[in-house]
Structure formats: structure tokens, C-alpha cells
Amino acid sequence: MSEAPTTATVGHEAAPEHEPTFLGFDPGGWVAIAMLVVFAIFIWKRVPSAIGKALDDRIALIRNQLAEAESLRKEAEALKAEYAKQAKSADKDRDALLERARHEAEEIVAKAKSDAEALVERRTRMAEDKIAAEERAAIEQLRAAAADAATKAAARLIAERHDAATDEQLVNQAIKEIAGR
């Protein structure tokens, strides 16, 4: 195997590389100088105080927002307590309303029951009165029919047992009784 010739072996010796410089400063030095200049400008223009002021303003804004959030939280807690109180009051009102409704319903049922009993009693009395009236009417009809039958039977019996002479005797006797008085 043969080796490929390198620049170092070719016959020259490699010279150390030199970095370019300007006014005796290499690039790293110039970067350092530029940084110092930038920091000097920042200080001259009061950039740190402006940054501090901006941060202080931001801190004040955040504090104000936190204070506002705290007051909003307190208001929300107060509203929550008020709504809880109203809900509890509404529950009590609802329970009282339900109890009153139950009581009224019981009264309505009791009144309806007593009204129904009174109606049944009234209807029963009316029916009994009607039955009694029908019984009286039937008895009167029976009496009238009996009297009519008795009258017809008596007339037939009298007609069969009495003749003109007996009738004359009865009429004379009735006249004597009326005149003797």
C-alpha cells in the first residue's frame, strides 16, 4: 500500500495560520469592544432604568389585576352566599306551600265527603218521602176503590133485599127522626 502524499510531506512545512487583525485586535477582540459599546449605549440611554420602569409598570398592572380579581372573588362569594340563602328560603317557602296545599287538599276532601254524605242523606230522605207519598196515594186509591166497591155492593144488596114498600117504610122512619128533633 502506498500512502498518498500530503501537503506536509510534499516538502513544505505548513505554516501556522494567522488570524487577521485590525488595529491589533483580532475578531474576538472586536466583538468584545462592540459589546462594550452596546452596553455603554444602553447605560447612556438609560435602557436598564427604562426596562426597570417597564417591569415596575408591569408589576403594578399585575398587582392591580390581582386586587381586582380578589375583589371579584369576594363579590362572587357574597353572591354565592346570597343565592344559597335565597335557595334555602325558597326551599322553606316550597315546603310551607306544599304543607298548605296538603292541608287544603285534606279540607277539600273532607268537605267533599261531608257534602256527598249530606247529598246521599237528602236523596235518601227524598226517596223515602216519595215512597211514603206513593204508599199514601196507593192506600187512598185502595180506600176509594174499596168504598166504591162497598157502595156498589151495598146498593146491590139493598136493591136485592128491599122493595118499594120497605123503601117507603125507611123513608117515613127517617122523616120522623128528623121531625122529632
Per-10-residue mean pLDDT of the chain, 181 residues long, equals: 51 62 78 88 76 90 94 94 91 91 94 93 93 92 87 80 77 86 65
Among 7, 26, 8, which Cα is nearest to 18's?
26
Residues 6+ apart with CB under 8 A from 30: 22
**pLDDT, position 11:** 52
Query: Domain spans of the chain?
Result: 27-160
- In 3D space, the residue among 177, 181, 156 whose CA is nearest the CA of residue 169 turns out to be 177
> Which amino acid is present at 33?
I
What is the predicted pLDDT for the residue at 148? 86
What is the per-residue pLDDT for 44? 76
Q: Do 42 and 48 touch, CB atoms closer than 8 A?
A: yes
Q: What is the pLDDT of residue 102?
A: 94
- 3-class secondary-structure state, position 2: coil
Q: Is the dihedral of CA 35, 39, 45, 47 positive or negative?
A: positive
Cβ 26 vs Cβ 19: under 8 Å: yes
Tell me what pLDDT residue 35 has. Answer: 92
Taking the C-alpha atoms of residue 71 and residue 39, their distance in angstroms, rounded to an integer, is 43
- In the chain, the largest separation of any two C-alpha atoms, in whole Å, equals 208
pTM over 0.95: no
pLDDT at 172 (0 to 100): 87
